[in-house]
Amino acid sequence: MAKKEKQKQKQIEDSKSSFAKDENFDYSGEERKSDFLSKLARTYPEGKTVENYNKPKKKILRIIINHNGIAKEYIKVQYSYGTFYFRNGQNISQGIFNSETRDK
């Protein structure tokens, strides 16, 4: 187990070194995520916005919740073999999706 963890850490360090030229690269993704959510807050009106997309082999429900200038993006993706839920690009459960996107 420790050997696998060492290999994983080495792969991460090798990946980071490939970006060594760019000292400002945000490895955690927090800055990129913050920029994206900030843009959502400026683009979408206050409250709840619901968008539906029918794509080949999947249906997508996208909900933007903008409250006091802070936006969160929720996505529900339905395939024939299952349904997946996301908040700001991270997997979440159906319960969290439903509770955080319901009308209050």
Q: Three-state SS for 34?
A: helix
Residue ranges per domain, the chain? 46-104
Distance of alpha carbon 87 from alpha carbon 16, whole angstroms: 26
Which residue type sits at 47?
A: G
Instruction: Give the CATH fold of the 46-104 domain.
Output: N-terminal domain of TfIIb (2.20.25)
Reported as a single tens digit per residue, the pLDDT across 1-27 is: 677 667 656 655 655 554 444 555 444
Tokens of 48: 């709840």
CA distances from 60 to 25, 41, 77, 78 (A): 31, 21, 5, 6
User: pTM for this structure?
Assistant: 0.67
Cβ atoms of 48 and 64 within 8 Å: the answer is yes
